[in-house]
Structure 1
């Protein structure tokens, strides 16, 4: 390879874009990030404008998802899918696309992708995109998770969902609140919301509650609700205005 791959990062989560950008900067001889995009519409504009050699493409995004973006391109660059779905069926991504990276992307896994880049010369076809879309939909239909895997220092903990009181977004991580302690989880709330069973409810952009730990619900100002939790501190968590209609339906059901 004579020069770095002109690369565009496409992901609807700012934290994920920033994290991957920082990671790619560690390999300046391989990647040159020329721009980023936060949704499918923006992705189309950036790809058509820059004609990059390579794109890092999130799958689930507002407006257009990753597959819909690719379907609208006349010329498809090399594609590395970035996904939060760790399912066996996603092995198809490795055979039909360049590679897929599980979020959060880790340096050692990216190094394997770099090794594969040396041997890849063909792009995705429209038929391949449809096959990948089918595999992704199959993966989405898996059963909801029952526990979380938390990495803390040099050990891994498994926390049962039934022990989690609520999730709270915090900077680049998610705080997982249990009776015992608070844990840091390195996925996003958007990812968690898609994986959690029905006894969890999102009440604002930065909060997901376990319904089993809600002690009381009160009306709050500006068309919001205040949730009092059954924890050691009787924590009060307030909903966001944009979630009012959804919460109204749930509370009346």
Structure 2
């Protein structure tokens, strides 16, 4: 079965050059879709479920880092029912400083513009080894790992330093008949259903209409980890992680009896547990 890939870059010549170079060094690779921006990349990833996504870091509208964060939240096989387990990310960049740390951590690889055959060959070798290891161990992709989340946060701060200072500090929520202001640090976890998001503290339960997808962009993700497409948990409130009889990871929360399920896409957050 061939590896399926998606390329996202706002420069047509770069898309064409990378496609041509990949065809030379990895002829078995099946490029199933090409996107011109981050929004298209997320939508086409959801549609085609590639094994690998090449993302330009700087694109208009939604940049590659934000697109990677959105892709990490897409439902995987355990939720969508089609067997897709997520994808690996490779960043395309003309700015080496944005990629060096990612490369050194081994969480993600990168392609420097212009895509030169020799460098791309090394990238492809590493990607193929990572995909083979993932297949052999049946592990989820690095996209949902704690290391990847931290890396994306750092890259996002480098690209848009003003965004880091404007993170949500208060939640305006409905508690019974009243509207109450809840400090973000007091929230143990957020859980969404189709209409509302439940805000749980040690002393109260409240409801807001803001979906998890928006909260991920507005909250400090050093404080909150996404463990399911519908769940965010305060890292300071995590008491421990256990497994049930079906092998699912369950997070125990300090000051609350509820245990929160970790979806397959985010099991890498608690690697080794």
TM-score by length of 2: 0.46
More helix by share: 2
Structure index of larger Rg: 1
Greater relative CO (CA pairs within 8 A, separation 6+): 2
